[in-house]
Structure 1
Amino acid sequence: MSKNTIKHILSMMLIVASLHAPDLWAQIDHSATHHQDMQVQGGNAPNDARDPHAYSDGYSLTEDPYTQPGSRQLKLADEHTFWSVLANRLEYNQGSDSVVFDLRGWYGTTYNRFVVKTEGNITVDRLEESQTDLLWSRAFSTYFDTQLGIRLDQYGRGRNRQWLAIGVQGLVPYWFDLDITAYLGKNGRTALAVEAKYELLLTQKLILQPRMELNLYGKDDPNNAIGSGLSDLSIGLRLRYEFNRQFAPYVGVEWSDTYGDTANYRQTSRKDISDTRFVVGLRFWF
């Protein structure tokens, strides 16, 4: 490209810039004026602004009639106490003409609760046996609680027992509900109870619940027909339909077996060592 061509191009650019200069300065001046008219957020609200208390009927944390005495005005949810009662199993077994109950209840806060667990069975209007745990529960992580208290065993035919109880309860990965409790009784008696269950949502209302429970004992207990080691194991499936979250009838099947000296005691008493039973029941909470 020659020097004359370059000079010609530069001359044309200067001419075009001079023609558009007035418009450019007008835009700069308009932009400056616009920024001067803008106001920084804050200050008093305009007269037609929405009342911040319009949807609370005038209630607020700093003005009557909702003010609280003292310097602290706000309470968090974990400072309040709540309660709940759950009938996890309330079922009838036609084969043995018995009713099985498994009830849970608690009262307290998010971190500290008083917990009651009771389960057992009733036949012909008589309590065969029951187990009741009275526990103080303390959350130590997002999904787990430690529990400390006592367990009371009652038998229609046998000798009642009392235990010191310590355990953990919560959700393990993949949402399995796990409850493990160790017990210490008189004369060096020990026991361990493990319960695990899982809820499989077939639909939003139809739920299949597998459940497993086992019990181990450190010593033989002839008075209550319980042997040392693994005493009994039960595995069940229950299918419930939730009319709502608080009311759900169910049907199910449960297989149970006994082992070691516990099985020997049952044989001596002419009772079945293992059993498969079909059940109908109701799960509810409030």
Structure 2
Amino acid sequence: MRVLAALLLCAATAAQAQDPHAGHTVAPTPVPSEMDMEVSAPEPAAPPPASAVGNAPAPAPPTDHWADRDFPPAEMAAARANMMREHSGSFAQIIFNLAEAQFGDGQTGYRWDAQAWFGGDINRLVIKSEGEGAATLDSGEVQALYSRAIDPYWNLQAGVRHDFEPGPPLTYAAFGIEGLAPYWFDVEASGFVSTGGDVLGRLMLSYDQRITQKLILQPRAEFNLSAQDMPAQRVGAGLVNAELGLRLRYEISRKFAPYIGLSFDGKTGTTASYARADGEAPTATRFVVGVRSWF
């Protein structure tokens, strides 16, 4: 019996050694209360003292001259004044919009349309000239105009025009507007009043369609009008004539661009009757070769 009791005591001791929780009482897990689960709100920030409100200095206003932050302002002011002197001077340009030979109706003719100007961005003196002929000069004129810019795209012009041909020389007061219309159309609209009270008008439109950076197709239209018959100048009332042209030029440089094209010139009404009486055709289609240049 003593041996059996010793064996039972040893087995119990080994079981307690293998079970770490043997002989221990597990305490119940405490359940947090509602007060423990509440999250405390942060303490509100203290308001600034009343003496500091509205007394902070204002920031420096922005300026156009940002470089003055990095360079001496006096030196930058001198540089800006020098730049204004360099860019507000007088300039000049001579441009031949048309300088061409014309082939058609069994004869060779010529035509020019040129202008020169001298002045600044706002005020300029402008000289314009245009004409055409074959064996002799058929028509030719020159204008001297004062031009003033009224916005970045348009100029008002006024001055005098003098015609050499056709008929006896005649002088006009000239006025008009020229510039760049929306969609990049070049527009010239002019009116003329002669010393004898004759009234003429002219409208010219052109557009440069770039095919490449150097190859440009230019449609061009010019309409001349008269308020009365002028038999000595072989001009009738109404639409005197319309010239429609299509020229393809290649800019070897921006200053020199040869071109080829077609030009149609049609006289209407009484002007066409004058042409027939003089043995001329009222309409003509010509192949043209020329150069557009400026310097």
Q: TM-score, normalised on structure 2?
A: 0.72
Query: Alpha-carbon deviation of 1:2?
Result: 3.8
- CA 2–185 in structure 1, closer or farther in 2 if over 3 Å, else same: farther
- Which of 137, 143, 149 is the matching residue for 2:147? 137
Give the structure 2 partner of residue 3 of structure 1: 32
Q: How does 1:111-260 map to 2 (within 5 A)?
A: 111-124=122-135, 126-155=136-165, 158-260=167-269
Residue-by-residue CA offset, 1:158-193 (whole Å, 9 max, x unaligned): 211100001000011111000000111122200001
Q: Distance in 1 between matches of 2:214 and 2:294?
A: 16
Aligned length: 232
Secondary structure at the counterpart of residue 219 of structure 1 = coil
Residue-by-residue CA offset, 1:237-258 (whole Å, 9 max, x unaligned): 0000111111110000011111
- Which of 272, 278, 285 is the matching residue for 1:263? 272
Give the structure 2 partner of residue 27 of structure 1: none
More displaced stretch, 276-285 vs 89-98: 89-98
Q: Distance in 2 between matches of 1:138 and 1:123?
A: 36
Residue-by-residue CA offset, 1:213-246 (whole Å, 9 max, x unaligned): 0111112111121111110001110000111111
Q: Distance in 1 between matches of 2:200 and 2:90?
A: 32
- CA 74–226 in structure 1, closer or farther in 2 if over 3 Å, else same: same
Q: Distance in 2 between matches of 1:61 and 1:94?
A: 64
Q: Distance in 2 between matches of 1:73 and 1:88?
A: 35
Unaligned segments of structure 2, at least 5 residues: 1-29, 40-69
- CA 61–241 in structure 1, closer or farther in 2 if over 3 Å, else same: farther
Q: Distance in 2 between matches of 1:132 and 1:8?
A: 99
Query: Alpha-carbon deviation of 1:268?
Result: 0.5
Structure 1 moving runs of 4+ over 4 Å = 4-10, 60-63
Q: TM-score, normalised on structure 1?
A: 0.74
Query: Alpha-carbon deviation of 1:272?
Result: 0.5
Q: Distance in 1 between matches of 2:83 and 2:260?
A: 47
Q: Compare CA radii of gyration and give the structure with the larger one.
A: 2
Q: Distance in 1 between matches of 2:286 and 2:279?
A: 18
Q: CA RMSD in A?
A: 2.7
Kept in 2, the 8 Å contact 1:78–1:109? The answer is no
Q: Distance in 1 between matches of 2:74 and 2:266?
A: 61
Q: Distance in 2 between matches of 1:121 and 1:61?
A: 58
